Amino acid sequence: MKHLIILFFFLAAQQAMASTVALLGRGEAGQNLADRIFASSPEFDFVERDRIQAVLQERKLSGDRLDSVAVRRLAPLLKADLFVLVSADKEEARARLLIFEPANGFRLADEQLPAENPEQAAAGLIRQKQTLIEAPGQTVFLSTTGIRDRALPRRHWIDAHRTADEFQRRLLRLDRLVLLEREELDTLIRERQLTGSFGKLAAASRLLALELGPGRSADEYFCRLLLYAPGGTVLFTAEAYSTGDDPAGTLLEKLAHYLKRTPPPPAASDDRKAEAARFFEEARWYKSNSLEEEQRMIAQYRTAWLLDPDNPEYRRALNTRLAIGYRRSPLPVPLLLERLELVNAVLGPEFGDPWTFRRKVPRGTPHLSSEPLDQILYALYEQRDRLTPEQQSRIRPVVDAYRAYLQRRHTKLREELLSLNHPGDIHISLYHYVHGSLKFLQPEFYFNPALCITQGSRQIAAMFRDIATCREKKPVPNSIYLNDEHSNTRRQLHAYLRLLPPDAAARQARVWAPQFRQEEPAGFQLLAEWLDLYAALREAPPRTRDELAGVLRPVLLRRKPCRLPSEHDELWTELIEDAGIKPDAGFAAWRFISDLLRELDSRSIPPPPPPVDHFSSERVRKFFERHRLMPLLAQAVEYSRKPYAEQVSARIGALDFPPTHFPPWSVDLAAELHPEFEIRRLYPAAASPDHLLMPVAGAAQDASGSVWLLLKRSNALTLHRIDPASGANARIHAVTDRQVMDRLAKPGGNRLSLSAGSAFLRLGDMVAELPLDGAPVRLHTDLPGKVVGVERKDDRIWFATEGIVLSGRTDGTGRRVHLSKFDDTCRAFPNADRRYQFRLRGFFAEPGEPDRFLLIGECGFVRFDADAGTLEPLLQSRLLLQPQHESMDNIQRSGESVLLCTNHPDFYAVACWNLKQKSGEFRCGGKREPQLPRNLLLPARETPPVQRWQNLPPLWGAACLRNGLLYTSGGNHIRSLLFRPDAPARTPFWFFPQLFTLFPDPDGRSILLVTRHQLFKVTPKAEVL
């Protein structure tokens, strides 16, 4: 077990004074080594141990619980000159020495101490670095700007970062070199707050960056070193590959040779702001796909803010990134505490809301959201049983200050509410006042159950009194104070009631239910129903599931229409567990409630519709009854009776939930529902029983029009070629690789594509190549990110991730990056903003062109010439901007055409590009144009919309425009839609609930529909066209 010895040093005002050392030992071995260092260093003035212990007790810390955060807090109090960290194992056979200068955060040494006489080696190293600081001379001060991830394959993360760490450790062995440790930058900020200026060593004369990226093969990565001047000019660059001998040593040798022959540049007054800007730019490239990557991103934002704390953009960005959401797997308590203290420092004593504390606020003062602080406190409260007394002492001051701020803000809201006279103003103010009142029910804002019970009850009583006062004063519009789902409010009430004993909780729920029910807004009515249910379960706890159903039925029958609970709705689970029904392998609370609601809905199904409706036949009704989909039938009947203008915006709610998988259609049933179309099933054959159908894992169409289906069996994948004319089915390939099967189990939509005699299955950062001639499957692994497109040209395979285009030989060697948004020197991007905004969504090869590709970028189609390294805009518009949560299924290739669909709220767009003709068209429409960011960079000539459609339906999933009809697949849980642009009201009836994807048929009239288990050929009749 390693033990840490912490020593602090601080530069004296006069060089003649002896250096001061604050010495602490952790564990017996560490204390022994500290004593020997003390004895061998009489020239140092050591801080008394009694004083150190007094500071620790004042901060409620112990020597065994010291971490880097606590040490940085103690440094100003102990007033030491240098900071030395020594780690040693129990036998003292291995010891490591770190030396810092805490006033500015410089790391001066990082060395392994010899086994013999380690105390003498440590003392000598301390003397050497002390001399270096006191007489800088020609010393080169390096500032590390971090390790940049240039799309490094995930498999190499650990080894590559070890190489970077080894390089930085060896870097300190160079003569006359000091390294600025960015992890200690908050001490620098504290120094400026205390003294108004930085120390004499605060500015760095060189900026050092390390880049890690993909190598020339799957088993290789590169390390690149870049040395900058303070103004940002690149002074020196070097590169080493992991397959070489000692890549860290190679980089160090090249850097040392350069530093010996080049004097350091002079420092400028604005260097620190320039460094902050580079850190901020670096942070924008990071994502949050993993906790490790998220931590690196936050560290970059934190450093930018610490270097320039007066910049509102840095402060706002850091505050936003500190939000943790409500994750299913909680973050560790130490990490939550670190984020709590950081977000508290970012928000400041006014919690990002100066208008609550001051009468006059300067124009341009930023308003920061306190949502990240709310989320962190909630996560800590969920793990309150794991908190130590020391950790609780760090939380309570923040909680008390935050609650005082909430009370102050709420008082101001109340005064404003009671002073209003106009009904509309009262309604708007009531919305904010109600939400502010309910916030006092959350126990994470107290960490004191008794205080939460007292103040929470008092606050809700005051809320109802104030609502009554407003109603007496002026009639309040009949609207909603809460959102329709009101799930957050139910969670607030539930968290409060769980603090009470069962009898008291039931009584409180009975008291609140009529108070909520007497208000008109729908959200309050639903809360009253939920409180009745809670009280019923607490007053007579059911012992069996039948008794539980008996308690729930009367309450659910009276309920307002609401969303069925989902698998992730933990509130139902907690509610039923509170009643004493514990979940087991065959019982899930959310499914129990859902089944009960469907049972109650089935009793209220309307009688069969009149014969004119599409769903009126006995065959259709029996189909829905057999598959227990009667609630879906009722919604479908209601949907079919609406005019088309309402159908395009109406949703069938029962299709939006994962438990609802629509069963395979029979051809007769599909034809009966769609009399305007001729329907034929191509796969499986008519004689195949439905229970043997295999789910479709991927689908693609080649240039001849044939459809390729990838079918998923229990332990294998099979690739089939379907001829749309004859329906002939040819099995081409079988895949049994366990790695492929495991990755395919994760949801990802249609990930199959065809190119030059091979089928490619995209599986995250891996691609499985299935040669169409039946040759063995080849796996292309360790690609730099999630693959969005694959093409094969000659003897090379081209891969595109969200930010990189690279190619390699078919055996996986000879990889070469052709386009990278992470490369500062890439000539394809005119500036940093264009490079940052660039994000690949699709990648397709242009036929007949050697190295030209069609890229689907942030706002449409772009041509990439790999030989020239240029990007040429083709079809661009802000209306093609990728909406949030877009799926790759919104991009569809059919033969030589590529179609792109985008979905913004109430506005949709579709763009098509023909790879062979090198031309495209653009259509858009909707109720109103979306609010798009104006800082989005587009080429000087933006493609205007050619035509606007009225009543354009939501374009979810793949789409195809054929003979004046626009077909959309809709995805797995959203229904397919049909649209006739020239006459929307004459659009034929269409009900295919869950399509996988769709393709145009080579006959020029038909459409090929791929469902979860089948392939249909649908041809509109002559009267439709």
Cis, peptide link before residue 684, omega less than 30° from 0? yes
Strand order in the sheet with 796-801: 787-793, 796-801, 804-809, 816-820
Residue 521: pLDDT band (50, 70, 90) is low
CB 122 within 8 A of CB 84: yes
Q: What is residue 621's predicted lDDT score, i.e. its pLDDT?
A: 74
Phi-psi group of 329: left, alpha or beta (phi > 0 → left; psi -120 to 50 → alpha; rest → beta)? beta
CB 963 within 8 A of CB 645: no
| pLDDT greater at residue 58 or residue 885 | 58
Q: Span 844-868, mean pLDDT?
A: 87
- pLDDT tens sequence across 788-845: 899 998 889 999 998 899 999 888 888 888 988 887 777 788 776 677 778 888 899 9
Q: What is residue 399's predicted lDDT score, i.e. its pLDDT?
A: 92
Residue 463 CB contacts under 8 Å (≥ 6 apart), including other chains: 433, 434, 437, 438
Residue 78 corresponds to which tokens in the numbers above?
């102990």
Phi-psi group of 269: left, alpha or beta (phi > 0 → left; psi -120 to 50 → alpha; rest → beta)? alpha
| Cα maximum dimension of the chain | 104
User: Residue 60: phi, psi to the nearest 5?
Assistant: 55, 50
Least confident of 200-209, 787-796, 872-881: 200-209
Residue 734 corresponds to which tokens in the numbers above?
């079988």
As a whole-number percent, the residues of the chain with pLDDT over 90 amount to 6
Q: What is residue 260's predicted lDDT score, i.e. its pLDDT?
A: 77
CB 329 within 8 A of CB 306: no
Q: Span 495-516, mean pLDDT?
A: 88
Model confidence at 7: pLDDT above 70: no
Question: How far, in whole angstroms, is CA 385 from its chain's centroid?
Answer: 28
Residue 567: pLDDT band (50, 70, 90) is very low
Alpha helices by DSSP H, 135-246: 157-171, 185-195
CB 173 within 8 A of CB 235: no
* Cα dihedral 637/643/647/648 (nearest 10): 160
The whole model's pTM is what? Answer: 0.65
Q: What is residue 64's predicted lDDT score, i.e. its pLDDT?
A: 55
| pLDDT greater at residue 879 or residue 405 | 405
Strand order in the sheet with 752-755: 752-755, 758-763, 766-771, 778-780
CB 636 within 8 A of CB 623: no
- pLDDT tens sequence across 226-277: 887 766 677 888 999 998 888 988 998 898 888 877 765 555 556 667 667 7
User: Residue 967: phi, psi to the nearest 5?
Assistant: -100, 140
CB 889 within 8 A of CB 997: yes
| pLDDT greater at residue 190 or residue 370 | 370
Closest C-alpha among 360, 454, 367 to residue 403: 454
